[in-house]
């Protein structure tokens, strides 16, 4: 595909202390963009790093400029993405935005493919890179499969993509008011029902250092994805607890009928069954009330809107290249 140089591409990359990986990523990114006859600008979102960035770019053939956006505090990967997107929308001229990680696991060679697919869509679509081949160990893959299965059961949605994506500006204008991306970028897009498609990619290798993603961070990330769909989760759990109440009531009724109408009951059997059923009903009712309040609280909560609120987190913005 021939890339129109008049189409301005911005690449948003959040980073926390992972400067060596980012330096190597920028060099590889410049090579891949140059090979595809494509040009881009970079917006590096420094998520409250505790060490200096140093020199990130020596010279570049396809990267026009690099801007470093420094946040006042560490807010986490997903929120750094939301702030970067909102800042880009408000301050930088672009026609499309690519979101990718700084560690190299999002392969720079896939950036031209994502952009080409986005431009080929008949109408504006966010295009995600879907990992057709993963490089993690068996424990991570098994944990990720369990998360996807539970997520699908609880929300009815299948989440099979990460942050690596391209957003046409027409959809960026809509995305920056989606409050849910403050918690989870992908789930927020799905919740807002913005149109998206996917292309298959292979997961790249980390360029330097070791990952800071541990199981606590992974669980927190999964819970954030669930929290975005808290209303759907609450309704499904409310239905589940209501079903439990009905089953417990039927069990109690059957036990009493057997006790009064037949000679099949064992000593104290009816009392135990009735007691168990009553306790189950009371606990299920308590859970039902909890999920009702969860749904109502979600409906009345004042949401964080990235376009409006991102300015409070920005400490500094500076062009570091050229």
| Distance separating alpha carbons of residues 247 and 253, to the nearest angstrom | 10
Mark whether 214 and 238 lie in a shared domain.
Answer: no
Q: In terms of Cα–Cα distance, which of 151, 207, 211 is closest to 184?
A: 151
Averaged pLDDT score across all residues of the chain: 85
Mark whether 190 and 169 lie in a shared domain.
Answer: yes
CB 75 within 8 A of CB 313: yes
pLDDT for residue 257? 83
| Phi (first) and psi of residue 223, to 5 degrees | -65, -35
Is 4 a domain residue?
no
Its domain, for residue 237, covers 231-300
- DSSP-derived secondary structure letter, 3: P
Is 177 a domain residue?
yes
Structurally, the chain folds into a number of domains equal to 2
pLDDT digits (tens, 9 = 90+) for 263-290: 666 667 777 888 888 888 888 888 777 7
Tokens 């918690």 found at: 183
Mark whether 74 and 160 lie in a shared domain.
Answer: yes
pLDDT digits (tens, 9 = 90+) for 14-30: 999 999 999 999 999 99
Mark whether 36 and 142 lie in a shared domain.
Answer: yes
Is 310 a domain residue?
yes
- In total, the chain counts a number of residues equal to 322
pLDDT digits (tens, 9 = 90+) for 139-197: 666 766 777 777 777 666 767 788 999 999 999 999 999 998 998 899 899 889 999 99
| Distance separating alpha carbons of residues 38 and 286, to the nearest angstrom | 58
Give the global pTM: 0.81
Q: In terms of Cα–Cα distance, which of 298, 75, 255 is closest to 183?
A: 75
Q: Which segment of 51-55, 61-65, 80-84, 302-306 scores lowest on mean pLDDT?
A: 302-306
């Amino acid at each position: 595909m021939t890339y129109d140089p008049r189409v301005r591409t911005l690449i948003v990359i959040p980073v926390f202390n992972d400067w060596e990986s980012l330096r190597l990523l920028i060099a590889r990114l410049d090579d891949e963009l140059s090979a595809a006859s494509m040009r881009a600008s970079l917006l590096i979102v420094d998520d409250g790093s505790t060490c200096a960035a140093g020199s990130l770019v020596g010279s570049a053939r396809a990267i026009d400029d690099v801007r470093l956006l420094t946040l006042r505090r560490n807010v986490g990967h997903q929120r750094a993405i939301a702030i970067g997107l909102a800042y880009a929308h408000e301050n930088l001229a672009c026609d499309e935005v690519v979101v990718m990680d700084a560690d190299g696991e999002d392969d720079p060679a896939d950036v031209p493919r994502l952009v080409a697919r986005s431009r080929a869509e008949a109408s504006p679509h966010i295009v995600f890179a879907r990992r057709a081949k993963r490089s993690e160990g068996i424990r991570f893959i098994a944990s990720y499969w369990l998360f996807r299965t539970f997520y699908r059961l609880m929300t009815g949605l299948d989440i099979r993509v990460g942050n690596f994506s391209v957003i046409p500006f027409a959809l960026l204008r809509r995305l920056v008011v989606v409050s849910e991306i403050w918690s989870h970028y992908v789930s927020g897009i799905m919740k807002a029902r913005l149109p998206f498609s996917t292309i298959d990619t292979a997961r790249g290798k980390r360029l330097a250092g070791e990952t800071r993603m541990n199981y606590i961070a992974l669980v927190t990330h999964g819970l954030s994805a669930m929290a975005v769909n808290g209303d759907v989760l609450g309704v499904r759990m409310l239905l589940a607890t209501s079903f439990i109440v009905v089953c417990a009531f039927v069990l109690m009724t059957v036990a009493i009928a057997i006790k009064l109408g037949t000679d099949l009951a064992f000593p104290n059997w009816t009392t135990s069954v009735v007691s168990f059923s009553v306790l189950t009903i009371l606990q299920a009712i308590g859970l039902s009330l909890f999920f009702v309040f969860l749904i109502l609280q979600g409906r009345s909560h004042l949401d964080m809107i990235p376009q409006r609120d991102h300015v409070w987190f920005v400490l500094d913005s500076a062009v570091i290249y050229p």
